[in-house]
Homo-oligomer: A and B are copies of this chain.
């Protein structure tokens, strides 16, 4: 793991810490900014692109908030575990963790989907969340407090043609979240499975997958989900009091059609 925990970060006493695993230019980045502006020290974590990571950290600090950046490859052993240990020892106990790693690889037929691709989908989509939970939730239990927000996708609730890897990874993610919730809710840990049911205004991921023309067309159609709006809902969920907590909800643009009424968004793109 390469990391830079930013020793010169303006760490304040008693600032709560939020970890965002998968803090790119879409939902992850927007959630980081929202929690930073709400008073959290946010730890942004992504696999690659150190300069984009540094830019995101710098932008948050320029707004007067606290942020640290981490490069971490969740498909490699010990990376997640080391990062969490480092954050908790040098920055503070993680109060909110956001697991925002996607596993979408576009439309690939069964024949086109290699064993390696399918396994990588699982490593990022399911196993990485298990590793984060196994490492972090016991720590949260000792503190009787903690929130785990899991970004998920249509593929968690509906398999589509060409989505073998993605659907298997996300179906596993959803059921793992249910299992974590069943074991930990009564200990004060709030697990939420968020079904992001539509394309997101994320130039890094969807933008690259679609190419500039299709992405621009999608933007003007008002079908795209705005990460900033999503971040407001993440913030709300993270602060629901113990007496009225949500485990699962869906999010989509009002111009879009829910998964149960529509064909695959991937097919439509």
CB proximity to B under 8 Å, residues A175-216: 175-186, 188, 190, 201
Known: A130-B168, A245-B253. A261 touches B176 (CB 8 A): no
How many copies of the shown chain assemble into the complex? 4
**Separation in Å of the A262 CB from the closest CB of chain B?**
6
List B contacts of A175 (CB < 8 A): 155-159, 167-168, 170-172
Q: How far is the CA of A241 from the CA of B248 in the complex (A)?
A: 19
CB proximity to B under 8 Å, residues A201-252: 201, 222, 224-226, 229-230, 232-233, 236, 240-252
Q: How far is the CA of A177 from the CA of B259 in the complex (A)?
A: 15
Known: A122-B126, A182-B160, A254-B186. A240 touches B229 (CB 8 A): yes
How many residues does chain A have at the interface if contact means C-beta atoms less than 8 Å apart? 82
Determine whether the beta carbon of B110 is less than 8 Å from that of A137: yes
- A-B contacts, 27 of them at CB < 8 A, read A111-B134, A113-B134, A118-B127, A122-B172, A130-B164, A157-B175, A157-B260, A159-B176, A159-B182, A161-B182, A161-B183, A167-B176, A167-B178, A169-B172, A171-B173, A181-B258, A182-B258, A182-B261, A186-B254, A226-B241, A229-B243, A236-B236, A242-B255, A244-B251, A245-B251, A262-B263, A263-B263
Chain A residues within 8 Å of B, Cβ to Cβ: 109-111, 113, 115, 118-119, 122, 126-127, 130-131, 133-134, 137-138, 155-164, 167-186, 188, 190, 201, 222, 224-226, 229-230, 232-233, 236, 240-255, 257-264
